[in-house]
Amino acid sequence: MRQKEIKKTKTVCTYCGVGCSFEMWTRDRHILKVQPVVDAPVNGISTCLKGKFGWDFVNSPQRLTTPLIREQGRFRPASWDEALDLVARRLKEIAAQHGGDSIGFIGSSKGSNEEAYLTQKIARLIFGTNNVDNSSRYCQNPATQGLFRTVGYGGDAGTLEDLQQADLIVIVGSNLAENHPVIASRIKAAQKHKGQKLLVVDPRMNEMAERADLWLRIRPGSDSLWACTMSRYMFDHGYADAAFLNDRVNQVAAYRASLAPYSLHYASERTDLAVGQLIEAAEMIGQAQRVCLLWAMGITQHSHGADTSTALSNLLLVTGNYGRPGTGGYPMRGHNNVQGASDFGCLSNLYPGYEKVTDAAVREKWARAWGVEPTALSAKVGADNFMMVQQAHEGSLKAMMIIGEETAFSDADSSKVHEAFSKLDFMVVQDIFMSRTAEFADVVLPGCPSVEKEGSYVNTERRIQRFYEVMPPLGDSRPDWRILTELAARLGHPWPYHHPGDIMAEAASIATLFAGVSYARLSGWQSQLWPVKADGSSTPLLYTDGFKFPDGKAVLWPVEWQPPQEEPDEQYDLLLNNGRMLEHFQSTNQSGRGGRMFNLSPNWFVEISPQLARERQLSEGDWVNIASRRGALQVPVTITARAAGNVLFIPIHHGKPGINSLTGDHHDPDVNTPAYKEIAVKMQKL
Ligand code: SF4
């Protein structure tokens, strides 16, 4: 018998926000290899470990292959008709009884742009609620807020090309080599071949810190103080770009006045950095012609992450580092499509393309396009992820639809989240596995991973790329865009989408940001970077001809440093930091299936400093109980210079109930992002 031909299909990585694309070689359902190609716009011939080998989950026997309905506490298989009829009926009943605002929708940051668009369309058009969000609430919203305030667009200022052109890369609160490995490789190459300088600001030693020209081991939670101090130094020592500030920036005088408290000595006392280190960093920034500043969850997952993001963007403005090649602010996006889920409207305050739900003209535009009266669309900002959990607890939120998000594991203070889910009248989860979140559901709908459907993603550069069907859906699972379309039809809205390209065409015809986006222009290895003009032209570098404000000028936005909401005290005397590892991804729902990836680093641990190990008489491998005010977990210690002083580090991937049994519900009041990195704990040897 002749062996079948090898099929080669372009796809986009399902893991991080770098957005690597490559060919996947398959024979039937067997993934033979991942082949990077030179035409790939982001990564060329590179991938990391996960993009190359992290695909065992696709054919995992644990995949959901049929809808499930909970009956008498147990799930039983059901037909699609039965499951979708039940979901439509229950959501309609709850909306009729309690109103549309009693239902909340969480869209997927791993689903496609088109699926995000449909999720928010169901919420807004069918239920008249803006209760829609995505996992960017856990991570990128504070960075987006900082950029909205200062430069106007919520995305990265330029592309990876710009990162390579910079004279100086500043990385603050990002473990880039493990979380965005291909970007880290590009920076390492620029260091080696172009003499690019690297400044890293991070309380934990990581690979980029070790490679840096200068690494500042800063006290956790003092980053905005550091950024304000750097800005003041620029003004005080002639490094502020006077022409740029005069021509292109508003509020300069008020901002400069706000920096008065941030002397080097004030900063040194509160950041654990010597005055000499602060001066050295400031001189590096001031003397560089082109600076790119990268930041991530080490900044955003704090109780003042939006302010710190604002302070970092302010520093770039003061030094004239926006709007030129090799400059700008680059918050790193975690999930492969957390940017797209936000871009395409899974946010409680914004339609696709970042158009405000509170703007009457915007609502009128969307209502006309969707064929309803403007009054059908809510003018009220909806509940975000954080608020939905609160409202479910209080009883005003009655139902939730969660698509491809592991909220029960990833949300802060997980026992409170579990209690909230248990109180809902109805919950539907759409996922590819029986996740910890799905265990709370009344109905579970089996969706498809990226390789079993078509769609598009947006990476951290604002780059929109298509991915293609590598293999058909497993069993009776269905592409998520199709499930949402079929649900909408049962809710009285028979939308004429036959392909994800139809959905993108509709979004592009309404949202100005995507005016010239089309599947034809995205075919093959082509990509587009938003904003995309009607003629299809992209914008790789933002702000070359003005900032996204009515007068085209940026805004220097004063911020006041405030200490973390939860800090070590007498009872809970240690601080717990946490984050991702190269071998895993978030809840490990994908990277942990099949064992190959997971077994590269199978064990949970807590990193402690040699000093702390001596003080507590702990040896490598000793088990400890780590307790916060919310919960406790048991892990073995590893003693390493990556940790310092009384700051511990635990990877976020392992365990049941996991790291979020320790985190609290304190959060950034500007954006409701949980302060995952502010956990006071105590540690006892077992
Ligand atoms: Fe995938 Fe990110 Fe690795 Fe690229 S860097 S292969 S997008 S996980």
Task: Give CA–CA dist 45/308, Å, rounded.
Answer: 35
% residues pLDDT > 90 (the chain):
92
Ligand 1: centre distance to CA 100 (Å):
38
Q: Are 156 and 460 in contact (CB under 8 A)?
A: yes
State both tokens at 132.
């829609």
Ligand 1: centre distance to CA 47 (Å):
6
Task: List, in order, residues 6 or more apart from 463 with CB less than 8 Å away.
Answer: 19, 41, 42, 159, 527, 528, 529
Most informative mutation of 50, 163, 339, 467 for ligand 1 (most atoms within 8 A of CB): 50
Higher pLDDT residue, 335 or 237? Answer: 237
| Residues contacting ligand 1 via CB (< 6 Å) | 13, 15-16, 18-20, 43, 47-48, 50-51, 180-182
DSSP-based three-state secondary structure for 430? strand
pLDDT value of position 1? 58
Q: Is the pLDDT of residue 593 over 80?
A: no
Task: Give CA–CA dist 389/398, Å, rounded.
Answer: 11
Q: Containing H/E element for 311?
A: helix 305-318
83-125 residue pLDDT tens: 999 999 999 999 999 999 999 999 999 999 999 999 999 999 9
Ligand 1: centre distance to CA 18 (Å):
6
Lowest pLDDT segment from 110-124, 130-144, 196-210: 130-144
Most informative mutation of 11, 16, 34 for ligand 1 (most atoms within 8 A of CB): 16
Task: Give CA–CA dist 291/232, Å, rounded.
Answer: 17
| Alpha carbon nearest to ligand 1 atom 1, residue | 51
Ligand 1: centre distance to CA 22 (Å):
10
pLDDT value of position 670? 92
* Mean pLDDT for the stretch of residues 414-429: 96
- Domains along the chain with CATH numbers: 7-59 (2.20.25.90), 86-135+336-463+471-521 (3.40.50.740), 141-332 (3.40.228.10), 574-685 (2.40.40.20)
Instruction: Locate the ligand 1 atom nearest the alpha carbon of residue 180 and give its number.
Output: 5
pLDDT value of position 436? 92
Q: Is the pLDDT of residue 3 over 90?
A: no
| Alpha carbon nearest to ligand 1 atom 2, residue | 16
pTM of the entire predicted model? 0.97
Most informative mutation of 20, 176, 336, 580 for ligand 1 (most atoms within 8 A of CB): 20
Give the confidence band of 590 by pLDDT, cuts at 50, 70, 90.
Answer: confident
* Mean pLDDT for the stretch of residues 566-594: 86
Q: Is the pLDDT of residue 67 over 80?
A: yes
Ligand 1: centre distance to CA 436 (Å):
25
Name the residue with tokens 């992290």. 54
* Mean pLDDT for the stretch of residues 364-368: 98
pLDDT value of position 596? 76
State both tokens at 5.
């031909």
Instruction: Locate the ligand 1 atom nearest the alpha carbon of residue 47 and give its number.
Output: 6
Q: Are 411 and 421 in contact (CB under 8 A)?
A: no
Q: Is the pLDDT of residue 654 over 90?
A: no
Instruction: Locate the ligand 1 atom nearest the alpha carbon of residue 42 and give its number.
Output: 4
* Mean pLDDT for the stretch of residues 366-375: 97
Lowest pLDDT segment from 111-120, 244-253, 626-635, 657-666: 657-666
Give the confidence band of 193 by pLDDT, cuts at 50, 70, 90.
Answer: very high
Instruction: Locate the ligand 1 atom nearest the alpha carbon of residue 52 and give its number.
Output: 6
State both tokens at 357.
């739900």
| Alpha carbon nearest to ligand 1 atom 6, residue | 51
pLDDT value of position 647? 96
Ligand 1: centre distance to CA 182 (Å):
6
% residues pLDDT > 70 (the chain):
100
Ligand 1: centre distance to CA 51 (Å):
5
Ligand 1: centre distance to CA 20 (Å):
6
Lowest pLDDT segment from 8-17, 590-599, 615-624: 590-599
- Extract long-range pairs of 41-47: CB within 8 Å, 24+ residues apart: 41/463, 41/465, 41/525, 41/527, 42/18, 42/160, 42/182, 42/459, 42/461, 42/463, 43/18, 43/182, 46/20, 46/182, 46/185, 47/13, 47/20, 47/22, 47/182
Ligand 1: centre distance to CA 321 (Å):
27
379-420 residue pLDDT tens: 999 999 999 999 999 999 999 999 999 999 899 999 999 999
DSSP-based three-state secondary structure for 70? strand
Closest CA to 35 of 20, 45, 27, 43: 45
Ligand 1: centre distance to CA 13 (Å):
6
259-304 residue pLDDT tens: 999 999 999 999 999 999 999 999 999 999 999 999 999 999 999 9
For 323-335, the three-class secondary structure string (H helix, E strand, C coil) is: CCCCCEEEECCCE
pLDDT value of position 2? 66
pLDDT value of position 283? 98
Backbone angles phi, psi at 15, to 5 degrees: -95, -100
Q: Are 522 and 120 in contact (CB under 8 A)?
A: no
| Alpha carbon nearest to ligand 1 atom 4, residue | 20
